Amino acid sequence: GAVVSQHPSWVICKSGTSVKIECRSLDFQATTMFWYRQFPKQSLMLMATSNEGSKATYEQGVEKDKFLINHASLTLSTLTVTSAHPEDSSFYICSAGRGVTIYEQYFGPGTRLTVT
Amino acid sequence: AQKVTQAQTEISVVEKEDVTLDCVYETRDTTYYLFWYKQPPSGELVFLIRRNSFDEQNEISGRYSWNFQKSTSSFNFTITASQVVDSAVYFCALSEAGYGGSQGNLIFGKGTKLSVKP
C-alpha cells in the first residue's frame, strides 16, 4: 500500500508556457501533500505544503504566483509552473502524507521538467 | 533551527567492502523522526528507515544497519558487503514533531553518492 503516482514522468515545454504536474495517492487519502524540487546533483528542497481544501504554504523564496498548487481532493494535488523559464528546469517530486501528527510521507517517482 | 549534514559528498568502494554513510542532525525539538532514503539513477526515492527520537536501539535489516546516537546527534548508515546495486545517492532527513505549519516537513541532507565498483 501507500503508492503515489506522478504524471507526467517527464515533460519538455517552451519558455513562456505553463505546465501542470499531477500527484495522486492511489490507495490512501493524503492529509497533506508536499512538493519538492531537486536540481541536478543537489538535494531535495521543499517548495510548498498543501492541505486538502486550503491554500498551500510556500517556503521562503518560492514564488507562489509562479508555482500554483491546487489540492482539490484527498488524493490529488497539482503543481502548475506558470510562464516557465529555462531556470525552472528541474526534477519535481511530490509526496503524500498520511498520519495525524508525524506524517508518513510517501514519494512519487518524480517529474523531470525541461524548459527550452 | 533544524539542519541535516552529510559530510561525505561521494564515496567509492569496491564490491564486498563495508561502507558507512554519516549523518549529523540539529534540532531543538525533543520529538523528531530521522529517515534514510535511497535515490537510484532513476530518481525515485526509496524509503529505507524511519526512527523516532525516543528509540535509540540500533537496527539491522539484511545488509543494512543504522546507528542512532542522540549524544552525538548522529544517525549513521552502514552497508555490509556492498554490491553494485547499492550504487545510488543516499539522503538522510529529519522531520520534527513541529509546531504550526512546519509539522511533518522533511529536511534533507545534501546526500552522499555511493559508487560500488565490481
What are A81-114's pLDDT values in tens digits?
999 999 999 999 999 987 665 567 889 999 999 9
Mean pLDDT by 10 residues, chain B (118 residues): 93 98 94 93 90 88 95 97 97 78 78 97
CA distance B72 to chain A (A): 23
Q: How far apart are CA B75 and CA B58, in angstroms?
A: 10
Q: How far apart are CA B28 and CA B31, in angstroms?
A: 9
CA distance A110 to chain B (A): 6
Contact B43/A105, CB-based, under 8 Å?
no
* Amino acid letter for position A115: V
Name the grid cell of A106: 510517501
pLDDT at B102: 55
Q: Which of A43, A102, A109 sits opposite B95 (nearest CB)?
A: A102
Residue of A nearest to B5 (CA): A43
CA distance A3 to chain B (A): 12
**B50 touching A, CB under 8 A?**
yes
Q: How far apart are CA A42 and CA A89, in angstroms?
A: 13
Total H helices, total E strands in chain B: 0, 12
The mean pLDDT of A51-71, rounded to a whole number, is 91
Q: How far apart are CA A4 and CA A96, in angstroms?
A: 7
Contact A110/B106, CB-based, under 8 Å?
no
pLDDT digits (tens, 9 = 90+) for A8-33: 999 999 999 999 999 999 998 888 89
Q: How far apart are CA A112 and CA B43, in angstroms?
A: 9
Check whether A50 has a pLDDT greater than 80: yes
Contact A103/B104, CB-based, under 8 Å?
yes
